[in-house]
Structure 1
C-alpha cells in the first residue's frame, strides 16, 4: 500500500510552490522476497530475504 499527499500554493500568476510527501509500504508489512527452493539445501523452504521497509520521500518544487 502506497500513499501520497501534496499541496500547491500559487505565488502570483506564473509562480507556484509544491510540497509532496510519498510513502511506500505505509503499514510497514513484511514482504518476503527470497525463499530457498534448492531441494538438497539445509535451508530448503526457508525465507532468506525480505523486501524494503517503509520509505518516505519529501519533494519541494518551486515553479517559475
Structure 2
C-alpha cells in the first residue's frame, strides 16, 4: 500500500525526471543536474517512507 509520503516521493522523482529531460533537450547542464538531484532525493524519500511503513506494519 502506498502512503502519502511515498506518493510525494514518486511525484518528486517524476518532477526531477522532467527537469532532467528538459535540461538535456535544451542543452542546459545545470537544469539537468538539478533534475538528477531531485530525482535521487525522491528515491531516498521513497525508501525512507517504505521503511517507515514496514516498521508500522511490524508493530501491529
TM-score higher than 0.5: no
More strand by share: 1
TM-score, normalised relative to structure 2: 0.30
